[in-house]
Amino acid sequence: MADNKPTFHHLNSSQSQRILWLLEELGIEYELVLHSRNPENHPTKPFLSPPELVATGPYGKAPLLITGEKDGSRYLPESSAIATYLIKTFDTEDKFGLKHGDWIHDEVICSLISTGLGKSSSFTLFLDLGIIQPGEGPLAGRVLGKTAWAVLDDLDRELKGGPKGGYFMGGHPGRCDILAEFQTSMATQRNWVDLKADYPALYEWQQRVFARPAWRRALEKGNGYDLTIFPTIPERRTNEI
C-alpha cells in the first residue's frame, strides 16, 4: 500500500462526496486534497472549479484521483472509472462483489444511474437553475414531474426485488450503491421528489447509506455537502404532468 497510496481531489458540495465515501468504505490510506468551489459572485465561473483544481490537468473537475506510484501516478477523472479502479485495486475481500458477486446486476444498476437517472437529474437541474424552460408540444412534459423520474420506479423496484440485504448489491453496498448516492441526494436535497412517499424502498436505502459510519466519516473529512447552494428559479418548472 505504501507505494500505491492514491491522492484524492475533492470539491465541496459535489459528486466527489460519493468517492470520498467509497474511500472510507475501503478503509485504505489516501491523501486528501480539499478544493472549494468558486464563490457565487465569481465574474465568469461561479460555483465552478477553483484555479488549483483546474491546474491539476485537462479535466480540472472533481472527483479526481491520482493513483499511487505502483499504478503509475495516473491522472484519473470520472466517478465511474475512479470507483471501478478503487474497488478492483483495493477491495481484496470482494465486499463490493465486483469480482465474484453478481457484477452483471451491478452493471445494470450503474447503467440506469448513468443514463436514466443522469438524464432526469440533469434536465431537472437545468430547469431548476433557469438555464432552460419547459417547451411546447405533447412531449415537452416528459422532462417534468413523475414522467421525468420513471427511473426512480425502476430503482425502487430493483431494491425490492433484487438481492436481499438493503443495498442494490445485497448486504453490502456495491459500486452501483456508491454511484447512486449523488443524484438521489441531489433530488432529495433540492426537493425534486418525495422519496419517502413515492419511492419507499429507495428512501429506506438512502437512510441506510446515511447511517453508515463510512458515510459519516466522509462527511466529516469533506468540506461541506450542500447541493442547495446553487440558486433555484422554481417558477421555471411549473407545468408538472
Give me the residues that bind ligand GSH (CB under 6 A), please. Answer: 11, 14-15, 48-49, 61-63, 78-79
| Distance in Å, CB of 28 to ligand GSH, minimum | 20
| Distance in Å, CB of 132 to ligand GSH, minimum | 18
Q: Which is nearer to ligand GSH, 103 or 230 (CB)?
A: 230
| Distance in Å, CB of 153 to ligand GSH, minimum | 24
Q: Which is nearer to ligand GSH, 118 or 130 (CB)?
A: 118
Q: Which is nearer to ligand GSH, 114 or 208 (CB)?
A: 114
Closest to 87 measured CA to CA, from 164, 166, 27: 27
Write the CA distances from 217 to 27, 96, 172, integer angstroms.
11, 19, 17
Q: Which is nearer to ligand GSH, 148 or 179 (CB)?
A: 179
Q: Which is nearer to ligand GSH, 42 or 157 (CB)?
A: 42
| Distance in Å, CB of 60 to ligand GSH, minimum | 7
| Distance in Å, CB of 78 to ligand GSH, minimum | 5
Strand order of the sheet with strand 31-35? 31-35, 7-11, 64-66, 75-77
Read off the C-alpha cell for 22.
467509497
| Distance in Å, CB of 49 to ligand GSH, minimum | 3
Q: Which is nearer to ligand GSH, 155 or 156 (CB)?
A: 155
